[in-house]
């Protein structure tokens, strides 16, 4: 237990940094995933092709491959930033593909007559999506979106292996390899801190799901 009690400050800082990674990645992946879902159902063929290519390419690549190309490939072509920015960017790009598919399923669950009625009164595709389709799609997509986001919170631990210093996983590696603490209590504590992120997130999603049922 000395590994935990002696390093509470380090664990606290690492928890906040991991929480920040999760929040930035959640917002970014929801925004990007919604845009890609719009492309997937767009009446414009090139946009549909782009959305399909993006999802099939990213969803079938391991997260570590996406991280590798972002963290080490972008600097090779002149894009330089911190590993924190690269890591969050890779996590957004990767998770957005799964958000897109969860949201597309919600879009397909909206009765086709509603989209046809929106077109009949003169709404554009963008107005139709933003005012009619997406509000209903998000409500029906809360369970799969929640699963995607919770998986993303856990995937954020991979960033520690790609140079993102100070988050929970990299802090655990530092304590065990550099300072000689036993690995078992350190990584048990890290697992507990991840539960502090995922369990409240799951409870919040359950509340949102119940409210969505009432709204429907």
Q: What is the SS3 string spanning 91-115?
A: HHHHHHHHHHHHHHHHHHHCCHHHH
Least confident piece of the model among 10-19, 91-100, 126-135, 187-196: 126-135
State the average pLDDT over residues 23-36: 94
pLDDT at 89: 93
pLDDT of residue 20: 92
Question: Are 131 and 89 in contact, with CB atoms under 8 Å apart?
Answer: no
Q: Each residue of 90-102: pLDDT tens digit?
A: 999 999 999 999 9
- Across the chain, mean pLDDT equals 86
The string of pLDDT tens digits covering residues 119-128 is 788 777 788 8
Q: What confidence tier does 2 reach under pLDDT thresholds 50, 70, 90?
A: low
Instruction: Tell whether the model's pLDDT for residue 183 goes beyond 90.
Output: no
Average pLDDT over residues 140-153: 89
Q: Report CA-CA distances (Å) from 102 to 55, 108, 141.
A: 11, 10, 6
Chain segment 38-72, per-residue pLDDT in tens: 999 888 899 999 999 999 999 999 999 999 888 88
**Alpha-carbon span 30 to 42, nearest angstrom:** 18
Position 7 confidence tier, pLDDT thresholds 50, 70, 90: confident
State mean pLDDT over 69-85.
Answer: 86
Work out the average pLDDT over 131-159.
Answer: 87
Separation CA 1–CA 191 (nearest Å):
15
Q: Quick one: pLDDT at residue 216? A: 54
pLDDT of residue 101: 93
pLDDT band at 215 (very low <50, low <70, confident <90, very high): low
Closest C-alpha among 21, 155, 154 to residue 84: 21
Residue 3 confidence (pLDDT) above 80:
no
Which tokens sit at 98?
């799964």
> Helices marked H in 41-62 — which ranges?
45-59
Q: Who has greater pLDDT, 48 or 77?
A: 48
Query: What angle do helix axes 183-215 and 142-155 make, rounded to 10 degrees?
Result: 160
């Amino acid at each position: 237990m000395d590994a935990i009690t002696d390093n509470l400050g380090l664990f606290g800082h690492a928890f906040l940094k991991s929480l920040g990674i999760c929040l930035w990645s959640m917002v970014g992946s929801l925004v990007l995933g919604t845009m890609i879902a719009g492309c997937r159902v767009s009446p414009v063929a090139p946009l549909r092709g782009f959305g399909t290519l993006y999802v099939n390419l990213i969803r079938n690549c391991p997260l570590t491959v996406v991280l590798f190309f972002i963290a080490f490939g972008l600097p090779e072509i002149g894009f330089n930033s911190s590993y924190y920015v690269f890591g969050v960017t890779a996590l957004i790009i990767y998770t957005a593909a799964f958000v897109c598919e969860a949201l597309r399923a919600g879009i397909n669950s909206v009765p086709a007559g509603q989209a046809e009625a929106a077109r009949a009164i003169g709404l554009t595709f963008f107005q139709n999506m933003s005012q009619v389709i997406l509000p209903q799609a998000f409500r029906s997509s809360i369970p799969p979106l929640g699963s995607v986001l919770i998986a993303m919170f856990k995937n954020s631990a991979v960033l520690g292996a790609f140079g993102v210093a100070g988050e929970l996983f990299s802090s655990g590696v530092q304590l065990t390899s550099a300072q000689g603490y036993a690995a078992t209590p350190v990584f048990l504590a890290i697992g507990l801190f991840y539960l502090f992120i995922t369990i409240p997130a799951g409870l919040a999603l359950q509340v949102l799901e119940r409210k969505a049922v009432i709204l429907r």
